[in-house]
Chains A and B, each alone.
Chain A
Amino acid sequence: MKKLLAGAAIGLMGLTTAAAADGHANYPDRPVMMVVSYGAGGATDFQARIVTMTAGNEDALGMPVAILNKPGAGGRVGWNWFATQADADGYTLSAYNVPHFIAQSIKGGVEYSTSSFEPIANWGADPAVFVVAADSDMNSMADVVAFAKENPGKLTFSGAGLFVGHHIAALQIEKAAGVKMAYIPTKGGGAAAMKAVIAGDVMGGVNNLSDAFRAAAAGSVKILGVADLERSEFLPDVPTMMEQGLEVDNASVNFRGIMVPKGTPQGVIDKLAETVPAMFENARVQKRMKAGGSPMHVMNRAEVQAMWAAREATLKELLAGL
Chain B
Amino acid sequence: MSEISLPRIQHIAASGVVAAVGVWVTYVSFTQQPAQAFLFPRLIATVFVILALWTFIKACLGWSKVGSGLSARDCKRLVVGLIIACIYIFWMAKGLGFYTATAIAFFVLLSIYDPAPHTALKSWVKRIAITACFIAVMYGLFAKLLTVYTPREIFF
In the complex, A touching B, CB below 8 Å?
yes
Please give the residue numbers on chain A whose beta carbons come within 8 Å of chain B beta carbons, in ascending order: 4-5, 8, 33, 66
A66 touches B147 (CB 8 A): yes
Please give the distance in Å from A36's CB to the nearest CB on chain B: 15
Given contacts A5-B155, A66-B147, 7 further A-B contacts (CB under 8 A): A4-B155, A5-B154, A8-B154, A8-B155, A8-B156, A33-B149, A66-B149
Nearest to B152 among chain A residues (CB) is A12
- A33–B148 CA distance with the chains assembled, in angstroms: 11
Bound Cα distance from A261 to B47, whole angstroms:
43
Main secondary structure of the interface of B (DSSP, over half): loop
9 A-B interface contacts by CB (under 8 A)? A4-B155, A5-B154, A5-B155, A8-B154, A8-B155, A8-B156, A33-B149, A66-B147, A66-B149
CA distance A4 to B147 in the complex (A): 26
Interface residue count on the B side (C-beta < 8 Å): 5
Q: Which A residues are CB-close (under 8 A) to B147?
A: 66
Q: Closest Cβ of chain B: how far from A152's Cβ, in Å?
A: 21
Q: Which B residues are CB-close (under 8 A) to A5?
A: 154-155
Q: Which residue of B lies closest to A9 (CB)?
A: B154
Chain B 61-75 near chain A by CB (<8 Å), digits 1 or 0: 000000000000000
B155 partner residues in chain A, CB cutoff 8 A? 4-5, 8
Shortest distance between the CB of A35 and any CB in chain B (Å): 12
Task: Specify the chain B residue showing the minimal Cβ separation from A30.
Answer: B149
CB distance from B96 to the nearest CB of A (A): 12
Tell me the complex Cα distance, A66–B149, Å. 10
Can you list, as one digit per residue, whether each of B131-156 has a CB less than 8 Å from chain A (1) or not (0)?
A: 00000000000000001010000111
